[in-house]
């Protein structure tokens, strides 16, 4: 008898057989493309630490969103860079704020694409924290909730299809749900950044969104990277408060957390955010000629799917979409 008897290699011999037995797939249907919107006209500022990513003014954003839709990507996630910042982040909930204008313009030009808005104050506050700050520099939870609820409501009034709170205040999903329901927006889903770690991988994003904290860091409200049981608690609370979809963020350094959340809460769609630092590291390695960008991108996005994410939020969405089969 020939040895060995068991030969897994039999199923690896050609691309065609590999294609047939593949367990994990990435489809364009599962992608969300983030965009940064800035005030002004005819602006396309490249973000130095994120090659291929720009801050677009509304007029320049529209053709980008059109192209995204034509690639088959179902949704965009919007971040705003306002003209003025203040201690309470007023720009976040103004009727004519940057996000509100961008949402309206997208809904006029490309009505089919899902517009998801990031709900947070850090891009709009002069101190760069995600909530209201006390005299002693503490980020105050409960006073922030009302502002986040106003922000989410103003995004929905402008036409947002889904709101995605990313601030990590306790109780914000419930506060937003109540505010939306109170105005008759019971049909608008909440995609909660339920499990969001205090991560150094957000560095390039803070250049793009101009949202780095002026003092301190976000460790008093974002999660400690050492914790995974706490992730279950965060996800559970957000579901109790009315979250329709959950998110884990970042993705690649937290694949184990994605798997735990996927298995613990099989009843809800799970998104993972392949964040700015994960993107920039691949771009940088490719620029140095040290890695094959396309293959590393694909392997990374597949790893996030294999860990259990249904949806992947990624700056690579438009790069990867043309490479995917149906
Ligand atoms: C806003 C927010 C951040 C990201 C998404 N929403 C930054 C932060 O928490 O500091 C990071 C996304 C990325 O790095 O791509 N709070």
Q: In this predicted model, what pLDDT tens digit does every residue of 281-290 receive, in sequence order? A: 999 999 999 9
Strands (E), the chain: 31-38, 44-46, 54-57, 75-81, 114-119, 132-133, 139-140, 162-165, 191-196, 245-249, 270-274, 311-314
Residue whose structure tokens are 């909930």: 93
Site to substitute for ligand 1 among 118, 166, 253, 315, most atoms within 8 A of C-beta = 166
Q: Whose CA is nearest to atom 2 of ligand 1?
A: 166
Cα(276)–Cα(274) distance, integer angstroms: 7
Nearest-atom number in ligand 1 for the CA of 275 is 15
| 54-57 and 44-46 strand pairing | antiparallel
What is the Å distance from ligand 1's center to 196 Cα? 9
CB count within 10 Å of CB 314 equals 26
For residues 67-74, give the mean pLDDT.
Answer: 98
Domains along the chain with CATH numbers = 25-247 (3.20.20.70)
Dig out the tokens for 43 from the structure.
């602006």
Beta bridge partners of 55: 36, 45
Are the CB atoms for 121 and 144 separated by under 8 Å? Answer: yes
The 10 Å CB-count burial string (b at 16+, else e) for 256-278 is ebbbbbbeebeebebbbbbbbbb
Structure confidence at residue 190 (pLDDT): 98
Binding-site residues, ligand 1, Cβ < 6 A: 118, 120, 122, 130, 166, 202, 205-206, 218, 275-276
Q: Give the pLDDT confidence of 17-31 residue by residue, as tens digits.
A: 999 999 999 999 999
Which region holds residue 318: left if phi is over 0, alpha if psi is between -120 and 50, else beta?
alpha
What is the Å distance from ligand 1's center to 325 Cα? 30
Mean pLDDT of the chain: 97
Q: Whose CA is nearest to atom 11 of ligand 1?
A: 202
Structure confidence at residue 46 (pLDDT): 97
pTM: 0.97
Dig out the tokens for 131 from the structure.
């909530």
List the one residue out of 312, 316, 228 whose CA is nearest residue 271.
312
Structure confidence at residue 73 (pLDDT): 98
Dig out the tokens for 182 from the structure.
């109170």
Cα(106)–Cα(66) distance, integer angstroms: 9
Cα(118)–Cα(191) distance, integer angstroms: 9
The answer to whether residue 277 scores a pLDDT higher than 90 is yes
**Sign of torsion over alpha carbons 92, 95, 97, 100:** positive
The answer to whether residue 326 scores a pLDDT higher than 60 is no
Angle among Cα 40, 43, 47 to the nearest 5 degrees reads 120
| 54-57 and 31-38 strand pairing | parallel
Structure confidence at residue 2 (pLDDT): 81
% of the chain residues with pLDDT over 70: 99
Annotation marks residue 66 as catalytic: no
């Amino acid at each position: 008898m020939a040895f060995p008897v068991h030969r897994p290699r039999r199923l690896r011999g050609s691309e065609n057989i590999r294609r047939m037995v593949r367990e994990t797939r990435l489809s364009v249907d599962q992608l969300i493309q983030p965009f940064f919107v800035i005030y002004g006209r005819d602006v396309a500022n490249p973000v130095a630490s994120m090659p291929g990513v720009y801050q677009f003014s509304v007029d320049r954003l529209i053709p980008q969103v059109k192209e995204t839709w034509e690639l088959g990507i179902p949704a965009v996630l919007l971040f705003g860079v306002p003209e003025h910042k203040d201690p309470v982040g007023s720009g976040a909930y103004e009727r004519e704020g940057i996000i509100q204008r961008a949402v309206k313009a997208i809904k006029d030009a490309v009505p089919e694409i899902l517009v998801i808005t990031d709900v947070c104050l850090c891009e709009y506050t002069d101190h760069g924290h995600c909530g209201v700050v006390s005299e002693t520099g503490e980020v105050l939870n409960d006073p922030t909730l009302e502002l986040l609820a106003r922000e989410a409501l103003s995004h929905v009034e402008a036409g947002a299809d889904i709101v995605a709170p990313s601030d990590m205040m306790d109780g914000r999903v419930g506060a937003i749900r109540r505010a939306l329901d109170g105005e008759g927006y019971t049909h608008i889903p909440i995609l909660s950044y339920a499990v969001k770690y205090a991560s150094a991988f957000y560095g390039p994003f803070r250049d793009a969104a101009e949202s780095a904290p002026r003092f301190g860091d976000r460790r008093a409200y974002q999660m400690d990277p050492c914790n995974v049981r706490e992730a279950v608690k965060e996800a559970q609370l957000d579901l109790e408060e009315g979250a329709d979809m959950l998110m884990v963020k970042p993705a690649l350094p937290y694949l184990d957390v994605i798997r735990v959340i996927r298995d613990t809460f099989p009843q809800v769609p799970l998104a993972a955010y392949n964040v700015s630092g994960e993107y920039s590291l691949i771009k940088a390695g490719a620029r140095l000629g040290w890695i094959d960008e396309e293959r590393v991108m694909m392997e990374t996005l597949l790893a996030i799917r294999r860990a259990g994410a249904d949806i992947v939020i990624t700056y690579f969405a438009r790069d990867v979409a043309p490479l995917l089969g149906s």
